[in-house]
Structure 1
Amino acid sequence: MCCYPRDASGFLGICYHLHSRMFLYLFLLTFGLQATVHCVPHNISEGKVKTCHLPQQNSTLYKMPSINADFAFSLYRRLSVENPDLNIFFSPVSISAALAMLSFGSGSSTQMQILEVLGFNLTDTPVTELHQGFQHLICSLNFPKNELELQMGNAVFIGQQLKPLPKFLDDVKTLYETEVFSTDFSNVSAAQHEINSYVEKQTKGKIVGLIQDLKLNIIMILVNYIHFKAQWANPFRVSKTEESSHFAVDKSTTVQVPMMYQLEQYYHYVDVELNCTVLQMDYSENALALFVLPKEGHMKWMEAAMSSKTLKKWNHLLQKGWVELFVPKFSISATYDLGITLQNMGVRDAFAESADFPGITEDNGLKLSYAFHKAVLHIGEEGTKEGASPEAGPLDQQEVPPLHPVIRLDRTFLLMILEKRTKSVLFLGKVVNPTKE
């Protein structure tokens, strides 16, 4: 069942013009038990083509988009409450995959709490099918694409005094593309350098020095990351960008931002029930963005109502038509300590002395201490040459209706990045102040 706007292959497509690239990087860090999501590299030119192996197309695969989307909005609402009036930005699917991997090595109430927070009911979803579902999800997301770079994975740095179970090493590599490294945490400086070097390599140098002031007595570190880089299907003209345009942060605060402009046909919809305008923009391959602009004073109402059902409703109601669109050019980043957030959501035992991780190691005392998460987003043109996208001539202008809606993202709006093939919410955020990175 499709949750999101569709094109001819299952998603609603959209014609828009934006020759910019978007870079998004996410890191989930848990000190005490910390892991890294790692994507297995592929090289088509050398004949090494990645394939996704799954025993069978189980029913969990069809439920995962909705379940993961509902977790995304649940986590979003919690972060919004904890960070009022601030930009919100994170990768729901990456966090879901990291927690699912963590549940693989957990037992008893520790496992149950993690899966319940993720939205899975073990009565309806067998554990085996759940992990196979995430295996297929991760493999599909990491599958080679011509014009879209998308990589997600895990890597565990575990104290060299501990002995991970061979079954855990094999299974997390197969199911979650996770690498496990034996690390000497008694040498804090060397351990910190090892982890930072790994992260820098996996993100192609975009994230440098992720971990600072690593503490002593670390048992295991899980670092989760997702790397996304894509081009819009059609370019904004650089010459049409307003270098300084008003953006209302709140009733009393206005900032100046560059504002990109386009008159083009877009799939859009005015949701009267949620008092918001929705606009869809495609990337050149297998991904799309949804911009959601609520009416002034209706952000909290819309936030409270967002769910997978909302995305399904928009899927059916988005209509294509001419729109005058103004989109700010901006960068946004957000860093969270997800430890308290996850505990408030119900993942309690994993951070307590009663934490139970028998699937990872036979050694006792393994628990989560902190959970840090960082996501970064950049939206902007790449300097499209004027000759590459000629101005519309008189004939083209005659085809544009004299009256058409104007959508100007000049106040707080929501942003979602969706992957078409898996119907996954790659990124979810709220842009309150586009000048705050």
Structure 2
Amino acid sequence: MSLFLYLILLISEHHATTHCAPPNSSEGKVTTCNLPKQNATLYKMSSINADFAFNLYRRVTAETSDRNIFFSPVSISAALAMLSFGAGSRTQTQILEVMGFNLTDTPVAEIQQGFQHLICSLNFPKKELELKMGSALFIGKQLKPLKKFLDDVKSLYETDIFSTDFSNISSAQQEINCHVEKQTKGKIVGLIPDLKLHTIMVMVNYVHFKAQWANPFHPSKTEDSSSFFVDKITTVQVPMMHQMEQYYHLVDTELNCTVLQMDYTKNALALLVLPKEGQMEWVEATISSKTLKKWNHLLQKRWVDLFVPKFSISATYDLGTMLLKMGLEDAFAENADFPGFTEDTDLKLSYAAHKAGLHLGEEGTEDIVNPEIGFLGKFETTLQPIIRFDKPFLLMILEKSTRSILFLGKVVNPIEV
């Protein structure tokens, strides 16, 4: 039997002018999830999940070093954790060890509880920040899923479960695509163009994220055409946002890069990492959860003359191929062990896909008043540091309370489609 796993997340938007489709009818439903307190497990998980994110990033960049990279680490971690919940013996151990967990130090039950706290914390309503992580399981009508599994994935992972007739390929495909389109407010349409024969289960995981900059860029300051140096021989023209503002930033002499923190209005931030010329590979090879902790302590708020390109970035990955190379072998093999899912046997993972996208812009419309706009002239003549993101840089978006990396990527060419 084949288990098709799709890890999908929403394209994030930062424009106040974005018009989303009306919310689906399931929004606003009462949830039993109560916001958990910070605990040792959640704190430990942030470091483990971050290191998994960077390890996966290094695997991606090994395959596509000269292309844009973009994915959602927290989405992938949550989906793999849910997959491990139905796995047994060596299959479960492999999944969790690939994710970076040491089962001697952190028992499986503690990991599951940690992800329950993580998902609950991310989904807890926050003013001025739209953030929702969701999952759905589409299970073939012929399967006999275990009641304990169904109950647990609902309570631990807030997962919707649907009994689906996969013998009718077109109908099943439409059901899945319609659900994803509704949950992502119309941002992902036609997710699965060609559902495979003999599919018996599809797992969908998504993240919806929309936030406003704490200090939005003024559109009148955006340069319509500015040079971005893709490499030594390639230059492209991009809209370049410009602002004189106070930002947390630092120069990391060990990693040979400049780090800038751009805050959103509520509970989220973006980290932009600009390596010095020729140092991108060194930064990529070295960055870790310890690096993030170091930066968090060393970042200082100062005035900056900032230039950031306005761009969209997206990517789709055959995640299964990368996970295999990272050591996740049994889940895809004939000896795969998933006794927690169903009474049926011979269940294995056949395909894992991941799709992500983001738009980064000024945030705001013409009538938004930037509180610093009247003071720009006073600072333009002083020796403020000038930071221009006009060559390849790394991008991270983090949720503050859990220190989760929502998105991780590299902008090599901001006009690449």
TM-score relative to the length of structure 2: 0.92
Q: Is the 8 A contact 1:87 1:431 kept in 2?
A: yes
Q: Is the 8 A contact 2:397 2:406 kept in 1?
A: yes
Q: Give the alignment partner of residue 101 of structure 2, picking from 114, 117, 120.
A: 120
Partner amino acid for 1:52? N
How far 1:120 moved relative to its partner? Answer: 0.8
Partner amino acid for 1:80? T
Q: Give the alignment partner of residue 414 of structure 1, picking from 387, 394, 397.
A: 394
Alignment correspondent of 2:34: 52
CA distance, structure 2, for counterparts of residue 401 and residue 320 of structure 1: 20
Q: Give the alignment partner of residue 294 of structure 1, picking from 275, 280, 287.
A: 275
Alignment correspondent of 1:188: 169
Q: Is 1:83 matched with 2:54?
A: no
CA distance, structure 2, for counterparts of residue 252 and residue 35 of structure 1: 38
Q: Is 1:205 matched with 2:186?
A: yes
How far 1:59 moved relative to its partner? Answer: 2.9
CA distance, structure 2, for counterparts of residue 421 and residue 351 of structure 1: 35
Q: Give the alignment partner of residue 426 of structure 1, picking from 400, 406, 414.
A: 406
Alignment correspondent of 1:32: 3
Q: Tell me the SS of whatever aligns to 2:355.
A: strand
Over residues 92-144 of structure 1, what are the superposed CA-to-partner deviations in whole Å (9 max), with x where a residue is unaligned? 01100100010000001100000001111111111111111100100110111
RMSD: 2.1
Distance 1:399 1:382, change over 3 A: closer
Partner amino acid for 1:412? P
Q: Is the 8 A contact 2:43 2:402 kept in 1?
A: no
Q: Give the alignment partner of residue 55 of structure 2, picking from 67, 70, 74.
A: 74
How far 1:258 moved relative to its partner? Answer: 0.2
Distance 1:247 1:405, change over 3 A: same
Alignment correspondent of 2:253: 272
Over residues 33-80 of structure 1, what are the superposed CA-to-partner deviations in whole Å (9 max), with x where a residue is unaligned? 32678999653xx9x5774266x8653222011000000000000000
Alignment correspondent of 2:361: 380
CA distance, structure 1, for counterparts of residue 313 and residue 147 of structure 2: 40
Gaps of 5+ in 1: 1-30
How far 1:381 moved relative to its partner? Answer: 2.9
Q: Is the 8 A contact 1:33 1:366 kept in 2?
A: no
Q: Is the 8 A contact 1:87 1:432 kept in 2?
A: yes
Note the 1:240-259 alignment, pairs <5 A. 240-259=221-240
Distance 1:390 1:285, change over 3 A: closer
CA distance, structure 1, for counterparts of residue 245 and residue 268 of structure 2: 19
TM-score relative to the length of structure 1: 0.88
Q: Is the 8 A contact 1:42 1:144 kept in 2?
A: no
Alignment correspondent of 1:405: 385
Distance 1:233 1:387, change over 3 A: closer
Alignment correspondent of 1:27: none
How far 1:264 moved relative to its partner? Answer: 1.1
Over residues 241-264 of structure 1, what are the superposed CA-to-partner deviations in whole Å (9 max), with x where a residue is unaligned? 000011111111111100000011
Q: Is 1:99 matched with 2:66?
A: no
How far 1:392 moved relative to its partner? Answer: 4.0
Distance 1:391 1:104, change over 3 A: closer
Alignment correspondent of 2:200: 219
Q: Is the 8 A contact 1:237 1:386 kept in 2?
A: no
Q: Tell me the SS of whatever aligns to 2:211.
A: strand
Alignment correspondent of 2:143: 162
Q: Is the 8 A contact 1:104 1:359 kept in 2?
A: yes
Alignment correspondent of 1:327: 308
Q: Tell me the SS of whatever aligns to 1:169.
A: helix
Over residues 250-286 of structure 1, what are the superposed CA-to-partner deviations in whole Å (9 max), with x where a residue is unaligned? 1111111000000111110000110100000100100
Over residues 133-166 of structure 1, what are the superposed CA-to-partner deviations in whole Å (9 max), with x where a residue is unaligned? 1001001101111111111121111111101000
Q: Give the alignment partner of residue 369 of structure 1, picking from 350, 372, 375.
A: 350
How far 1:388 moved relative to its partner? Answer: 2.3
Q: Is the 8 A contact 1:34 1:157 kept in 2?
A: no
Q: Is the 8 A contact 2:129 2:266 kept in 1?
A: yes
CA distance, structure 2, for counterparts of residue 331 and residue 35 of structure 1: 23
Alignment correspondent of 2:13: none
Alignment correspondent of 1:19: none
